[in-house]
Chain A
């Protein structure tokens, strides 16, 4: 049956315009520069990433000339202060790693705490953080995490298995203490998580998951000390990260000092880290960068970044690997988009490159309705040709030609409104009308703002390190971001079962086959029109050195510890 299903899906894909991907994507000459992983990456054999080959090119993008993948190097200089300018999150800013609500929180969390694993510079393979490795049993239902020795907390206590067990049992199982707990709900048998010895933790699962460790290379899973709670952390946060807490005023300033005992010997180079989140406007952040009041500006407006590639007043870092996916979400189980012909028509009519040029100032690469670029089993060969006539025909056969579709959008991230407007313009050529309305960014992704209710909307997926993570995030019935309501459509139970089988497949060839089948389903019938993948584009003052771009977060997962001031 599996074989029959696969051949049927492949045939569907061919009809939909699957062509060779390499003709459409350009590998950057600078791609060879990437590939620095932390020591111990080789130990990740069981993590599903290290043996992957070739698929990471799927996250490559057409970064404009002049953007740097790494700032100039040389002999690091010690001292000075990194001041990061970001748009304020007001009082909602917090300092607990499980509940970040915006960029100011991400900067702090990545520098105060450590993750068990981190995304690689090309997403896959993941690289070790507080965990050196994770080994599964034969059917991937019991995972053994080996922890890093010699790590100390900011208060001098040693980091041990007790800390990790506390995070699993008390925090990562609790939606109020961890916004990504939905990834683990129903997956981890939290009660039975146990310490095997001082630096070993056993995590039993309720179902087999072959890529389990990749879930933890996600920003919500910063590790806090045994016994720490959101309340205790709010008073005085203690982490294992490269910078120690000094002060924190929400919506204003937070100050951190160098952790001299950090486990990456000799780092960080700067003495202080200041997060200035008093800004309410991107232009003023850029002016502050030009004037030297700050020296790092993560994710500036892309038009500004593009201009600076020529003006060269500041340095622009852009990863050659784009892994943040932008997509229009169509509900598959009910409403206007329940008819797959309409979903397919939208996927077919969109001019992806026009959206990239118009909404992202040319940064980024086209995507073809699949999530998690750069991960091991990502089907980078599934590519869709634009065909407006075909789209018109599909709309006509679905009986919606001339009809109006409402698209609520928001300006939460760069290019969202612009790409929505461009889609609406392009849709008229296919015989339908799309009406774009811009909603408030603060509530767009909440039920009060229409999230999980609307038929048509916008979604952005931050980089994840496996298809398992992406599917747990978007496609399983208990997922936290059910924009498309995948699994609730007719035949959805079988689709959900297929996802479970793919997640549990420990044999790599079988996993590859099952994940391909899952992706073909999404490509042909899924509710996401994924139109582009955006790299993290960041700015730094001209005298900053040593920082790198990565496919994960800004400055290669906020590794400010690699940088110095010349």
Chain B
């Protein structure tokens, strides 16, 4: 038997003020806590990214000047660009700007006297392009995952389940570059239906050639939906085994109503987390897919920035991706709380 000391049990009088506030607005308190956690996570992630980029051998100056760089020239440029300063000093200098939306100036562009050196201005196009790719994928991913997962769950063990689950297992297990390559082989090399690359000129809208987006979206969809469908299927199958479903059926409730009103709604809460996981996957998976299809999004931007050791660009792109990841997580938690009343009451 566990004995709880009296002093640890909070009494209403001794309870701190903030808990009382949270009691009045349980959702607001939850949101506040999750946002605060998200910000702290983002802060820690930004430090880790900064440290990681500084562990890489060489810096932008050595990469640009190459092997013909004399120590004197390297030192002069490092001073000019403030990259001779300590890592903490540079980090806090960057952080000060970032909280105001100024991600700093591209070190490489500065070295080469380029007219446009602000990272914020070069991030716009890649961010928009990636957003379009992710949004199109999401728009298809959510209904497809729910529908196929639900059908497979309802028809568990039957032919329809196998027809859905087996391809989902295969697609979910293949890495993006393999799926992408297979799709290119089939739809470009063999059928000649779709272009194998999704090239865009600077400023060109991704919607200007929708055909080019088909294969990147299909690749992302295959990998993300493959994993998602199986998870939704498991949730649905489990829900259908619950006593209340059994009782509903015994009470003569029509099967369609059992599924739509009782099973699906209750299976939806875990599905939200599954879809959130898939969206989080998109944040990372998009980097590889963009590379396979030469699509000029944030992933390509990040790869280029790492190649040229542009710490400021790497930092900006990585922090934005991390922020998206955290935001999706937060949003998913909120949706679950709204969907499941039990969780809301549990906060009281």
Contacts and interface: CB of A to CB of B under 8 A. Distances in A.
Contact of A180 (B62, B68, B188, B305): B68
17 contacts: A88-B300, A89-B308, A90-B305, A91-B109, A101-B66, A181-B68, A235-B115, A250-B114, A281-B292, A290-B188, A291-B196, A293-B195, A440-B57, A442-B307, A447-B69, A449-B57, A449-B58
A26 B304 CA distance: 41
A241 B290 CA distance: 34
Contact of B300 (A89, A253, A280): A280
Interface stretch (A12-20, A92-100, A510-518): A92-100
A279 B294 contact: yes
A157 B97 CA distance: 44
Interface in B68-109: 68-71, 73, 77, 106, 108-109
Interface of B: 56-60, 62-71, 73, 77, 106, 108-109, 112-115, 122, 181, 184, 188-189, 195-197, 199-202, 290-294, 296, 300-301, 303-305, 307-310, 313
Interface in A151-209: 175-176, 179-182
Contacts of B71: 447
Interface string A10-50: 00000000000000000000000000000000000000000
A143 interface: no
Contacts of B65: 176, 179, 446
A251 interface: yes
A287 interface: yes
Contacts of B196: 284, 287-288, 290-291
A251 B304 contact: yes
Contact of A231 (B64, B113, B122): B113
A92 B188 contact: no
A443 interface: yes
B306 to A, nearest CB: 8
A92 B291 CA distance: 19
Residue of B67, B113, B189 with most chain A CB atoms under a 10 A cut-off: B67
Contacts of B301: 251
Contacts of A181: 68
Contacts of A179: 65-66, 68
B114 to A, nearest CB: 5
A22 B94 CA distance: 62
Nearest to A249: B202
Contact of A283 (B67, B77, B292): B292
A362 B70 CA distance: 38
A91 B106 contact: yes
Interface size class of A (residues with CB under 8 A): 35 or more
Contacts of B184: 287
B309 A442 contact: yes
Contacts, number: 159
Interface string A191-230: 0000000000000000000000000000000000000001
A448 interface: yes
Contacts of A442: 58, 63, 307-309
Contacts of A280: 290-291, 294, 300, 303-304
A92 B113 contact: no
Given A88-B304, A92-B112, A480 B67 contact: yes
B331 to A, nearest CB: 30
| Interchain residue pairs A-B with the least CB separation, the first 10 | A90-B304, A443-B58, A287-B196, A448-B58, A91-B108, A92-B308, A90-B308, A231-B113, A445-B67, A446-B62
A184 to B, nearest CB: 12
Contacts of B305: 90-91
Given A249-B202, A281-B292, A293-B197, 5 more contacts: A90-B307, A90-B313, A280-B290, A288-B197, A443-B56
A81 B292 CA distance: 24
Nearest to B196: A287
Interface in A81-117: 88-92, 94, 96, 99, 101
B294 A288 contact: yes
A252 B106 CA distance: 15
A480 B66 CA distance: 11
A186 B91 CA distance: 42
Nearest to A183: B68
A253 B108 CA distance: 17
B251 to A, nearest CB: 58
B200 to A, nearest CB: 8
Residue of A278, A281, A447 with most chain B CB atoms under a 10 A cut-off: A278
Contacts of B122: 91
A451 interface: yes
A293 B197 CA distance: 8
Contact of A89 (B69, B109, B201, B307): B307
A290 B184 CA distance: 11
B58 to A, nearest CB: 3
Contacts of B304: 88-91, 251, 280
A361 to B, nearest CB: 20
A291 B195 contact: yes
Contacts of B189: 290
Contact of A230 (B67, B113, B202): B113
Given A90-B305, A281-B291, A443-B58, A276 B199 contact: yes
A247 B195 CA distance: 26
Nearest to A451: B67
Contacts of A99: 64, 112
Nearest to B200: A278
A403 to B, nearest CB: 26
B67 A446 contact: yes
Residue of B70, B73, B292, B296 with most chain A CB atoms under a 10 A cut-off: B296
Interface in A265-317: 276, 278-281, 283-285, 287-288, 290-291, 293
Interface string A246-265: 01011111000000000000
Given A291-B197, A445-B66, A446-B69, A250 B109 contact: yes
A284 B197 contact: yes
Contact of A175 (B73, B197, B200, B201): B73
Contacts of A234: 112-115
Contact of B62 (A90, A182, A443): A443
Contacts of A94: 112, 114
A481 interface: yes
Contact of A92 (B63, B70, B181, B202): B63
A279 B115 CA distance: 23
Given A90-B108, A175-B70, A231-B113, A446 B63 contact: yes
A182 B109 CA distance: 24
A165 to B, nearest CB: 23
B67 A91 contact: no
Contacts of B109: 91, 250
A315 to B, nearest CB: 18
A214 B59 CA distance: 33
B296 A175 contact: no
